[in-house]
Amino acid sequence: MQNTVHFILQGKGGIGKTLVSTILAQWLKTRDGSPLRCYDTDQENPTFSRYKSLNVKHVPVMTESRTIDPKRFDSLMIDILEEDGNCVIDNGANTFSPLVAYLIENDCFSLLEESGRKVYIHTIVGGGDTLHDTAMGFVSTAKSTNVPLVLWQNEHFGLLQSASGKAFLDSQTYAENSGRVKGHVVLAQRNADTFGADLKKMNTARLTLDEVKASDKFNVMEKQRIKVIFKDLFEQLDKVDW
């Protein structure tokens, strides 16, 4: 993959945007050797920028009055356009609405496409109590943009199904926008005491898979379970219609 730009967008906080950003960035690094540049626009909790080995650039794009700072955002766009390579842009819940509005108002997606970049929006829908809000975020993103979507289904909050047991992918909400979706990645619900604890340990330390493999702070079984998680996710990303 070359010259792709990936926006991680979802208006609900704590749903896994930074997790998705780190997984995606690590997968892109395994592709064809294209340069990778990562950006964190989260104003209040720039967790992505704390992954040192990914060299994430923190770009706080909002002013104190909660509007987009044109100069800061323009510098981000220029930075993306000045060099070839793949880009991952993590966005906080607090900047979701103003950032999407600014991207649309300035026709930024078209500018990127016309400049030879292939643009994707990664949107996350969570299960359990998060399903309704995140499903509405998916619909809002699908209806307000014309960019290909990659749907991440986060089962860590529960299965993606309604109270009556109807799966999100079988819902009318999804069906009306499914034509825009180029692929799915499931963040599967695994054993919380093993896989869950290991992934939390990895994320708390802000480490990548390669760093975990080289670390003496993870035992052989912790490393094995993390490798199992990433093998599954990377295989799913391989199947997306890029």
In this model, does residue 240 exceed pLDDT 80?
yes
Annotated domain spans of the chain: 4-188
Q: What is the token pair recorded at 128?
A: 């359990």
Q: What is the distance between the alpha carbons of residues 25 and 19, in angstroms, rounded to a whole number? A: 10
Domain spanning 4-188, CATH architecture: 3-Layer(aba) Sandwich (3.40)
Reduced to 3 states (helix: H, G, I; strand: E, B; else coil), residue 68 is strand
Could you tell me the pTM of the whole model?
0.94
pLDDT at position 45: 85
Q: Per-residue confidence at 98, pLDDT binned at 50, 70, 90?
A: confident
Tell me the pLDDT tens digit for each residue of 126-165. Answer: 999 999 999 999 999 999 999 999 999 999 999 899 888 8
Q: What is the distance between the alpha carbons of residues 42 and 184, in angstroms, rounded to a whole number? A: 24
Buried-exposed string 62-95: b where 16+ CB fall within 10 A, e elsewhere: beeeeebbeeebeebbeebeeeebbbbbbbbbbb
The H or E element containing residue 186 is: strand 181-187
Closest CA to 203 of 229, 180, 174, 185: 229
